[in-house]
Amino acid sequence: MTDPVPPPETPVGPKFGRQQIVASILTVGILVLVFAVVLPKFGDYGAAWEAVQNMSKSHLALIALATVGMIIIYVFPFQAALPGLKYKPAFLTRQTSFMISNVVPAGGAFGLAVQYGMLSSYGYAAAPVTATIGITSVWNTLVTLSFPVIGLIALVWTGQSSSEAATVTLIAAAVVITMIVVLVLVLRSEDLARKIGRLGDRIIQRGARVVRRKIDFDTEEAVVEFRSSIVDVVADRWLLITLANVGQQLAQFSILYLGVVALQGGFSGPVSLFEAFAAFAFGRLATFIPVPPGGLGTTDAIITALLTTFGLANDDALAATLIWRAATYFPQVFIGAGALLVWRRGNSKATAATG
């Protein structure tokens, strides 16, 4: 860990105002719609709960073990992006951020502000903290967008998909490859970063003219600043960063797949590994929607619908989704609340000791 250095400028965190109130109302509305109207059309909650109760103890133990593993692995992307960051501060920061981002409506901005403040409190200056947050966000986005493409490719390759899906796969793959190429070019040199930033400026301004809005944002400088903040770390640790982010999401998927296997009576049931992965991957896309937080409800509906499409019984599909949601959401929310209390207590002691 570096010596304690206060950041030159601490960004002002978002305030709970009109937008948050509107987001809260929308969140409640979406959750009621999904859990009270949409999901019951796929299966019966009572039957789904009965299916969970009928699962063997060994299957439940495997799911519990996978949940513990997911919580442990969830910290690794931060450690990969910030050299020297020890596990405990990384754990407290990640879990607290998860809790806020996934509980507060449109809480992504709050989560980022919390990450900045907590990492700064552990002695990291503004530049490495900003780089860590930027790298983790970008890699998480790339992995989330890449997984549906991988899932579709796997289904097409194994003959479990249609020609229409193959077309969608090609389009989605082109989008992901374009994003990766742009990122590589930005990191390759400052000159290329400036050219891409200027191109972004032209696109934004043309869009602004279409909607007749004035947008005062320097994309070129933003791209260059982003590049300068992450280029050194990415050059040295890109493989580790990639593996950490892929591992984090695969750990989440393992819980869903174990639930599917348990409910359908084995690995040779109606839903294959690739189909379960495709359902998970497309469900995860809903996390990009800021309301509700963490794709709560929207992701569940997509996963349940796709599992039933792939042949899993409706009640079993609903049960598998609910198991996945319960394991990947509630433990980290409660752990995040505890992590926040632990951090605040430690930070108060550190402040008192230096005061």
Structural domain spans, the chain? 57-123+135-346
Q: Residue 4: its pLDDT value, please?
A: 41
Is the separation of the CB atoms in 11 and 109 below 8 Å?
A: no
pLDDT in tens, the chain (355 residues): 344 444 434 444 455 556 556 566 666 676 666 667 667 777 778 888 898 889 999 999 999 999 999 999 999 999 999 999 999 999 999 999 998 888 876 666 778 888 988 999 988 988 889 889 989 989 998 999 899 889 888 888 877 666 666 676 777 788 888 888 988 898 889 999 899 988 888 888 787 777 667 777 778 888 888 888 888 899 899 999 999 999 999 999 999 999 999 999 888 889 999 999 999 998 888 887 766 777 778 899 999 999 998 999 999 999 999 999 999 999 999 999 999 999 988 877 766 666 5
Q: Residue 24: its pLDDT value, please?
A: 62
> Of 45, 19, 15, 311, whose CA–CA distance to 160 is shortest?
311
Q: Residue 11: its pLDDT value, please?
A: 42
Distance separating alpha carbons of residues 25 and 72, to the nearest angstrom: 33
Q: Residue 163: its pLDDT value, please?
A: 65
Which residue in this structure is represented by tokens 């300068």?
228
Q: Residue 165: its pLDDT value, please?
A: 65
